Amino acid sequence: MLEIESVHRRYGSEIALEDVSTTLRRGELTVLIGRSGAGKTTLLRCLDGLDSPDSGVIRLDGQRLETTDAALVFQSGALVSGKSVLENVLDGALGREPPWRELFGWHSPDEKRAAIGRLHAVGLGGYATRSVEQLSGGEQQRVGIARSLQQEPEVLLADEPVASLDPETAGSVLAVLARVVREHNLIGLVSLHQPRLAADIADHYLGLASGRLVLDSPASDLKETTLSEVYADG
């Protein structure tokens, strides 16, 4: 269980997050929604350790959330050009391996087997030797998911991972995210501009407006009017 308690974050005089509190559970995919500038990326960055709250507490199973506990799938995929699919996935283990291994491009057989397994988990079995430049946008995002799994996180985060994809491809990528969250019993949180893309796979919804949490609801209880209120002006 991931507990977010009274989290605040400011950038100068601008309030990015204000008194955000919620609980996320293992094996569930939570969809984070809100207008641009609502605080979605800031919340994800605080959970991933790329940023720090000014105040508040974030706990995983009763203990402080460590940076190695969470992995973030970026909007652009953030893959390394010139590397193969397998090499990009192996990069997910850099936090657990000595730096010299990356310098010499050496990874243990166990890490390689794990990376191949994670490619199969995201539907990319047989893609290991391909260059990432040869992949479609949806395939690149799947590689990004596999790389995040290689980190062996407890919390899987994704920041607008389907923003540049067509609706059909976006749906397939979100389905992969939901499946790995459930199969690996992870805590999943994905931010989206189009919440209805996740209607068939979301377990929970959070909504931010001007840095405040204005929606915290199981997907089964969500109403169309409630979604609209998250995006209301003012």
pLDDT of 152 reads: 92
Q: How many folded domains does the chain comprise?
A: 1
Q: Report the distance separating Cα 46 and Cα 1, nearest Å.
A: 17
Q: Do the Cβ atoms of 197 and 162 come closer than 8 Å?
A: yes
pLDDT of 163 reads: 86
pLDDT of 233 reads: 62
pLDDT of 174 reads: 93
3-state secondary structure of 39: coil
Range of the domain at 70: 2-230
pLDDT of 109 reads: 84
Q: Do the Cβ atoms of 149 and 179 come closer than 8 Å?
A: no
Question: How confident is the chain (234 residues) per 10-residue block, as mean pLDDT?
Answer: 96 95 97 92 94 96 93 83 92 68 69 93 92 91 93 94 88 93 96 86 94 93 77 68
pLDDT of 193 reads: 84
pLDDT in tens, 53-85: 999 999 999 999 998 899 999 876 678 888 999
3-state secondary structure of 216: strand
CATH number at residue 67: 3.40.50.300
Which residue bears the tokens 């590397």?
Answer: 83
From residue 20, give the alpha-carbon distance in Å to each of 13, 29, 65, 116, 177: 18, 19, 16, 38, 24
